[in-house]
Amino acid sequence: MHSVLTRGNTVLAYALSVLACLTFACFLSTVFLDYVTDSKIKTVKVVVKNVPDYSASREKNDLGYLTFDLQADLTHLFNWNVKQLFLYLTAEYKTENNELNQVVLWDKIILRGENAVLDYKNMNTKYYFWDDGNGLRANENVTLSLSWNIIPNAGLLPNIIATGSHSFKFPSEYTTYRV
């Protein structure tokens, strides 16, 4: 009647169809959950320097240094469909040259099963806070916000911004000492 290959093909097609339906059910079971939580961010030390950019232009650009405190409880974000969280702290500000500047200053990956309660004090930024000009000195509206991507087993990769941002200003004078 039917060969072994035909029967194997039928079993494999049926198994893949069932797995696709189960994966879609997995996605539907967590797609409408609220993944927003509160965060508390505070700057401890804020300094701006005017240093040469060693690229092709050789002109001086602003480099901001800051230390920050960060508190957030992300444990309720984990469910059976979340493998990991990719957290990142961004700074947004406006300059004369650009209406919107966004700089990632710090990031962290939290795997399922790891401690997801963040309580960092006096943290340094992980990445440089460069401005492509002199837009940091005396800038009075720099906003820090914590965001994360949820890496699921099945489904969408949402990008979520925490409630609770922090605004600060850079000093009006460049610092001359080594940071």
Domain shared by 114 and 154, yes or no: yes
Q: Residue 138 is encoded by which pair of tokens?
A: 């005396």
In this structure, is residue 87 part of a structural domain? yes
| Rounded mean pLDDT, 54-78 | 87
Task: Give the pLDDT band of residue 71 (cuts 50, 70, 90).
Answer: very high
Alpha carbon distance 24, 73 (integer Å)? 29
In this structure, is residue 137 part of a structural domain? yes
Task: Quote the domain boundaries for residue 83.
Answer: 33-168
Domain shared by 25 and 95, yes or no: no
Strand partners, 42: 69
pLDDT, averaged across the chain: 90
pLDDT cut 90: percent of the chain above it: 64
Q: What is the pLDDT of residues 72-128, one digit of tens each?
A: 999 999 998 999 999 999 999 998 888 999 999 999 999 999 999 999 999 999 999
In this structure, is residue 1 part of a structural domain? yes
Q: What CATH number is associated with residue 60?
A: 2.60.40
Residue 23's pLDDT is: 87
Domain shared by 10 and 91, yes or no: no
Domain shared by 129 and 157, yes or no: yes
Task: Give the pLDDT band of residue 26 (cuts 50, 70, 90).
Answer: confident
In this structure, is residue 175 part of a structural domain? no
Regarding predicted confidence, which is higher, 31 or 122? 122
β-bridge pairing 159-161 and 142-152: antiparallel
Total domain count, the chain: 2
Q: What angle do CA 37, 80, 164 make, to 5 degrees?
A: 5
Q: In degrees to the nearest 10, what's the CA dihedral of 100, 105, 106, 107?
A: 40
Domain shared by 154 and 122, yes or no: yes
Lowest-pLDDT range of 37-41, 71-75, 164-168, 174-178: 174-178
Residue 64's pLDDT is: 92
Domain shared by 3 and 60, yes or no: no
Q: Is the pLDDT of residue 133 over 90?
A: no
In this structure, is residue 173 part of a structural domain? no
In this structure, is residue 136 part of a structural domain? yes
Residue 179's pLDDT is: 66
Residue 169's pLDDT is: 93
Output the pTM of the full model. Answer: 0.85
| Rounded mean pLDDT, 32-48 | 92
Domain shared by 16 and 81, yes or no: no
Residues in the chain: 179
Domain shared by 22 and 76, yes or no: no
Check if the beta carbon of residue 96 is closer than 8 Å to that of residue 115: no
